[in-house]
Amino acid sequence: MSGKNVVLFGPPGAGKGTQAVKLSELLSVPHISTGDMFRYHIKNDTELGRTAKMYSNKGELVPDEVTIAMVKERLSQKDVANGFLLDGFPRSLPQAEALDKILTELGIKLDHVINISVADEEIRSRLAKRATIEGRADDADPQIIQNRINTYKKQSEPCLSYYRPKNLVKDIQGCGTIEEVFNRIRSVFS
């Protein structure tokens, strides 16, 4: 099996979370989701949670320095020695650059950036559906959904131009069933 240091990338609603759970099981590596980490802090009303809430409620990114510090701390833990699956990070160019620095310090090399692509219309309908199923506050309001799509295009998508020249990006079509998408992802590791 090829390298297990993986970033899962894609717009909101691409199915990153669902695929990440399955892929982390397949690779036996920890699933590190910055969205889940922020939601945990928000639920427990920690200081970090209160900061994160101000941004995630609006469909904006939590400031880079806050997010980078949280990921740096997580990647310093021992369980990433055999690989990791980052879900939802990096999401801005400064985060991608910071990740490089963190990994260099740890003596780790990134192996794959799995880019799940989904059309805008499909994103909107998936997020609206998720709002009714999971009750996520940031999925419920069309204006917040639009903000998240805009934020993705403006701040997150440039990460792909950062990783493409490094030959790390594996493009995966996000349409179809969960299993169909997972089989495409799985083929990267065979």
User: Is 130 a known active-site residue?
Assistant: yes
Calpha distance 169→90 (Å, rounded): 13
Query: Which member of 40, 49, 55, 100 binds ligand AMP (CB under 6 A)?
Result: 55
11 lines the binding site for ligand AMP (CB under 6 A): no
Calpha distance 184→171 (Å, rounded): 9
56 lines the binding site for ligand AMP (CB under 6 A): yes
Interacting residues of 9 by C-beta distance below 8 A, sequence separation 6+? 16, 113, 114, 115, 116, 156, 159, 160, 169
Sites for ligand AMP among residues 60-99 (CB under 6 A): 60-62, 67, 88-89, 91, 95
Query: Which member of 5, 9, 10, 38 binds ligand AMP (CB under 6 A)?
Result: 38
Query: Which member of 34, 163, 184, 185 binds ligand AMP (CB under 6 A)?
Result: 34
126 lines the binding site for ligand AMP (CB under 6 A): no
DSSP 8-class letter at 14 = S
What tokens does 116 get? 């799940």
What tokens does 77 get? 């833990």
**Closer to ligand AMP by Cβ: residue 1 or 127:** 127
Q: Among residues 16, 74, 126, 184, which one is catalytic?
A: 16
What tokens does 179 get? 């299993």
